[in-house]
Amino acid sequence: MKVDAGTSILELVEGDITEMQTDAIVNAANARLILGGGVAGAIRTKGGPKIQEECDKIEGTFVGGAVKTTGGDLKAKYVIHAVGPRAGEGSEEEKLKNATLNSLKLADEEDIKSIAFPAISTGVFGFPVQRCAEIMLQTTIEYLKGQTKLEKVVFCLYGHESYEIFANQLKRETSK
């Protein structure tokens, strides 16, 4: 599913984010930037040790923050590590909005033209997929309406259920 958002394209795909051929992919990271399980584990496995080595040098970031490393052996040139909230930690919605926004801003600062996001915090961090879709899509659409060099933002969703939730939310957002 593709829609125009400002001068950019916003696209939803179901698949494996480590296979995306965008300039950057977003890792749903933890604050210590340790590539453990879920999206981060898949990135570590396919991207090789260089990504974790760069994360170790950065030494972490705050919840809601975003930092960039190489893409290692991935198809994407870069990985933007966005730290989403854990369900129940407080201010989760604001933190997820910030993780999304800070990733988009970092991509722009680094002249990245295309970026792929997962559904941040919906795995082991336990954030509800529906609320994630609302926050991430609203934040992205609003950002793309402003001045940006981003040409394409993709939400690469793992599993049909997540894809459907995001697709239905995107339909609601674009019909406003």
pLDDT for 124-175, tens place per residue? 899 999 999 999 999 999 999 999 999 999 999 999 999 999 999 999 999 8
Q: How many CA atoms lie within 13 A of 66 on its CB side?
A: 27
Residues facing 82 on adjacent strands: 28, 66
CATH of residue 143: 3.40.220.10
Q: Residue 12 belongs to what domain range?
A: 2-174
Number of structural domains (the chain) is 1
Q: What is the pTM of this model?
A: 0.95
In the predicted structure, residue 36 carries a pLDDT above the cut 90: no
Over residues 98-110, the mean pLDDT reads 98
pLDDT digits (tens, 9 = 90+) for 62-90: 999 999 999 999 999 999 999 999 999 99
How far, in Å, CA of 162 to CA of 149, rounded? 28
